[in-house]
Structure 1
Amino acid sequence: MGHKARKRFGQNFLQDQGVIQRIIRSISPRPEDALVEIGPGLGALTEELLSAAGHLDAIELDRDLVPILRTKFFRYGDHFRIHEADAMKFDYTSLCHGSQRLRIVGNLPYNISTQLIFHLLSHHRHVADMHFMLQKEVVERLAAAPGEKHYGRLGIMAQYYCRVDNLFLVPPEAFDPVPKVDSAIVRLTPYETLPYEAQDVERLQQVVRIAFNQRRKTLRNNLKELISAEDLEALNINPGERPERLTLQEFIRISDFLTHLEQPAEKE
C-alpha cells in the first residue's frame, strides 16, 4: 500500500495469513455482531472481519491510513465506518444500539496497551468480548493467577471485570516490521454479573495500586497508610504476605473494610 509503519504509533502490521485466519476463527464473527476494530492498520484483519460479518466500525489514529482503508473497503459503503480518533479517548458507548453489546478487536500498540485496556474495562457493561493482539508479557500479566510471576494490578482488575483466556502465541515474523518481542492473542469476556463485587471499585483500584507499588515488600509495609496489621489479621489476611499472594477476593475484603470505615455512622 506504500505506507511505512510509524514508530510513534507503535505500528507493526500483521501479514501472516495463517495467524490471521487463526485469529478470525477465535473471534468467529457473525453478521449480527456489533464489531469494532481498534487500529486496523492496513486492513489485514479488517478484510476478514468484513467478509464474515459484512459491517464494521474501525478506530484509526493515523490520518494517512484513513484514505487507504476507505479506498480498500469502498465496496462496503456505509457498512464500513472509520472513525479518525484516539482509541484512548473514544466514547465506545456511541457505537451501541439498544441493548446490543460490542465485540472489540485490535492489534494494540505496545506502548499504550495497558492504559487502553483500563480505558476499555470502564466500558465493560457495553462489551460482549474483546480479542487483542498484545505483547506476550502483557497477556501473561492479564491471565496470571495469585503467586505467579506476572500477577499484579493489571491482571487483578482485568479479572475483576472479565474472564481472561490466553489463546495462543504469535511470532515476531508474522509482522512487518518485525518487532523485538513475542506477541499473543487474548480474549477478555466481561461478566454479565460480577462474581466478586467490591462496594467501591475505585477504592479497590487504590488498594491494589498501593499494594503493588513495591511488590517485593509485605502488605504490612505497603498498606500501612491505609490499614493496620491488626485489621488485616482480623480480615484473616497475613500482614507478612507479599501482595502477589493475595486473591482478588482478599483484595476486595480489604477494600470493603476501608469503604465501611468511611461510611458515616447511622443516627439512632
Structure 2
Amino acid sequence: MASRPPGHRARKRFGQNFLRDRGIIAGIVRAIAPRPGERLVEIGPGQGALTEPLLEATGGHLEVIELDRDLIPGLRVQFFDQPGFVIHEGDALKVDFRALRGEGAPLRVVGNLPYNISTPLIGHLLEAGDAVADMHFMLQKEVVERLAAAPGATERGRLSVLAQYHCRVESLFTVPPEAFVPRPRVESAIVRLTPHASPPQVARDERLLFALVREAFGQRRKTLRNNLKGRLDAVSLETLGIDPSRRPQTLTVEEFVRIANHLAPEGITP
C-alpha cells in the first residue's frame, strides 16, 4: 500500500480524534474478526489507521463512509492499489443502509464514531433491521456503559432499553485518551452490538414501546406510578406483576414490553 498521506488537522466540528495506538488497532481488528468475502463498512475512516488492517483481513474489500471531503483525496492515494476499496462520500446519518446492502450479505459496520453523533447513528442503524449483521464501535466510555447497563444500574436509561431490545450488547475493552491525536478529554471503549436473529421479546407496537420508555425515563428519580400515570394506573401495573413504586432503571426489557403489549390492544398510541 502507498505510504500515509500528509497529516490532516483534526476538525472540531466533525468531532475528529485520530486513533494512533497500533496495539489498540490490532485489538479492535481481533474483536471484529473480519473474514474475506464479508461486507464490511467503516464509518469515518479518517486517515485510514483502522482501514488498512481491515482491508488486509478482508482480502482488499472494504466500503467506507466519510463526511470530511478533505480526507477523501488522501484515502484515495493511500489505497489506490486496492480495487475493492469503495468510498461513499457523505453523512452516515443520511445513508440508507438497507439500500447499501442491496441483495448482498448483511453489512458488518465498524467505526470510531464522533461522540456528537454516536447515539443518533446507532438508532439509525438499528432501524435498518436485518441489513446489518453486527456493529463494532469505539464510543465515549460513558455511552458504552449506558448501552450495556443492566437493570438497576445507575447508567441505565432509554438508550439501554432501545439497544438491548434490538441487540445483544457487549462492552469489550476501554481505550485511553493517549491512543488518539489530538488527545480527547474522555476515555473511550469498544462495544459490539449484535442484532437478535430472533428477538427474545417482541412488542406488538414498537412505536408505543419506545414512547412508553421515553415517558418512563422522563424523570428518573420518580416512580413508574408517577411517570406512567398518563398511560396506566398502579393497579394495572400490579396486575402485570410490576411494583408501581419501582423506578424505570430497575425494569428489564421484558417488563417494558409486557407493559407495552398490555396497552397495545386498547388502541393507545404514542
- TM-score between both structures, scaled by the size of structure 1: 0.96
Q: Secondary structure at the match of 1:198?
A: coil
Aligned to 1:110: 115
2:81 pairs with 1:57? no
Report deviation, 1:97.
Answer: 4.3
After superposing on structure 2, the runs of 4+ consecutive aligned residues of structure 1 that deviate more than 2 Å are none
Aligned to 1:2: 7
Choose which of 59, 66, 79 in structure 2 pairs with 1:73.
79
Aligned to 1:261: 266
Paired with 2:150 and 2:129, the residues of 1 have a C-alpha distance of 21
Report deviation, 1:92.
Answer: 1.0
Letter in 2 for 1:231: S
2:134 pairs with 1:129? yes
Paired with 2:222 and 2:124, the residues of 1 have a C-alpha distance of 28
Aligned to 2:3: none
Alignment: residue pair count = 262
5 Å-filtered alignment, 1:147-166, equals 147-166=152-171
Structure 2: any 5+ residue segments left out of the alignment?
1-5
Aligned to 2:197: 192
Letter in 2 for 1:21: A
Structure 1: any 5+ residue segments left out of the alignment?
264-268
CA RMSD of aligned residues (A): 1.0
5 Å-filtered alignment, 1:162-181, equals 162-181=167-186
Which is worse superposed, 56-65 or 88-97?
A: 88-97
Q: Secondary structure at the match of 1:75?
A: coil
Paired with 2:63 and 2:266, the residues of 1 have a C-alpha distance of 45
Aligned to 1:43: 48
Report deviation, 1:226.
Answer: 1.3
2:146 pairs with 1:141? yes
Which is worse superposed, 4-13 or 98-107?
A: 98-107
Paired with 2:37 and 2:104, the residues of 1 have a C-alpha distance of 13
Letter in 2 for 1:223: L
Choose which of 89, 95, 112 in structure 1 pairs with 2:94.
89
